[in-house]
Chain A
């Protein structure tokens, strides 16, 4: 079983559309994250949730809205997609306060046309 799974793997859409990316982890972790990797491979944190509570919210347009229905799931909804939103979005999970590594999902390649 995949530890951190994201769907879809690829997402191609038109400007102005609304789309969602789903993430699930089966590691029993209590904290989940969204990271964005741009075309130059630069990775930046967007959000973090601990036990369904938002704990990190970086400077991200409010068109991006994370939702965590339970601690094993963290979804990312994006409204009114723009060209600049094209990137790879990675979900990750960890155990809060531990010294263990962060586990990443396989990424969602979003292309906005």
Chain B
């Protein structure tokens, strides 16, 4: 059974600082996703990573994938308050089906 572990689960950081969220998964997968969820809201797709070495960046967020290590990272650069949210990684174990297994989420709080 595919297991997806995120750490840390809680992250409190100061504005302007950098930090990384880690996502480890237990079996081979062809797709890895990062989602953002604001309190009481839906999930917003941030990145889809498809191959080893893939790196994607959007604003202050950058995601990377190492399929050999079964590890993805979400790096936050110069955090701002607006980035406060819960971030989930999810790994596809269903082939052409989107049978996503989610990590437990990282609750990020950016303090002024």
Contact = CB atoms under 8 A, between A and B. Distances in A.
Interface of A: 31, 33, 40-45, 48, 50, 55-56, 90, 92, 94, 96-97, 99-107
B78 interface: no
A107 B98 contact: no
Contacts, number: 56
Contact of B33 (A48, A50, A101): A101
A45 B104 contact: no
Given A42-B104, A43-B88, A101 B48 contact: yes
Given A41-B105, A90-B42, A99 B48 contact: yes
Contacts of A41: 37, 86, 104-105
Contacts of A106: 41-42
Given A42-B102, A44-B102, A96 B48 contact: no
Interface residues of B, number: 23
B69 interface: no
Nearest to B50: A99
Contact of B96 (A42, A44, A97, A101): A97
B98 to A, nearest CB: 5
A56 B94 CA distance: 9
Nearest to A55: B97
A50 B97 contact: yes
B98 A94 contact: yes
A107 B35 CA distance: 15
Given A31-B97, A103-B45, 14 more contacts: A41-B105, A42-B105, A43-B43, A44-B102, A45-B100, A48-B98, A55-B97, A56-B99, A96-B97, A97-B96, A99-B31, A99-B50, A104-B42, A107-B41
